[in-house]
Amino acid sequence: MVWNYDGRRFRVAQNCATGQTSTETTFHYRQQNDLLWGTYEGGEIRWGTLTGLVSPDGALNFHYTHVNQSGTICSGICQSIPELLPDGRIRLIETWRWTTGDRSAGESVIEELEAL
């Protein structure tokens, strides 16, 4: 399967205690060849961006930066493994680590809002 994230929107389905995203956070992804970029906002996130790469197996490796509702600039790195859901939507299993603040790590799950 060729993974294409261009134009897809995702929402957080699950997050750990050290994460700042929530079910109110929406991600908008763009892709050109193996280049990935996007924006995200909602809940505790005022505005965020991400930039990274898509591997041939669809895995994502990116850096993210956002401003939260407290006015703090936060950043980190993330690796995501895709799963195709029965209805054609994409689920991403994410392992991430803050590069600011306490530098803790965590795991999240985000799911596509609607299949393209």
Show me where the domains of the chain are located.
9-112
Average pLDDT of the residues in 72-87: 97
Q: What superfamily in CATH does domain 9-112 come from?
A: Avidin-like (2.40.128.30)
> Which amino acid does the sequence have at 58?
G
| pLDDT > 70? residue 71 | yes
pLDDT band at 90 (very low <50, low <70, confident <90, very high): very high
Flag whether pLDDT at 115 surpasses 70: no
In terms of pTM, does the model score above 0.85?
A: yes
Report d(CA 62, CA 101) in Å as an integer: 18
Q: Name which of 1-5, 40-44, 86-90 the model is least confident about.
A: 1-5
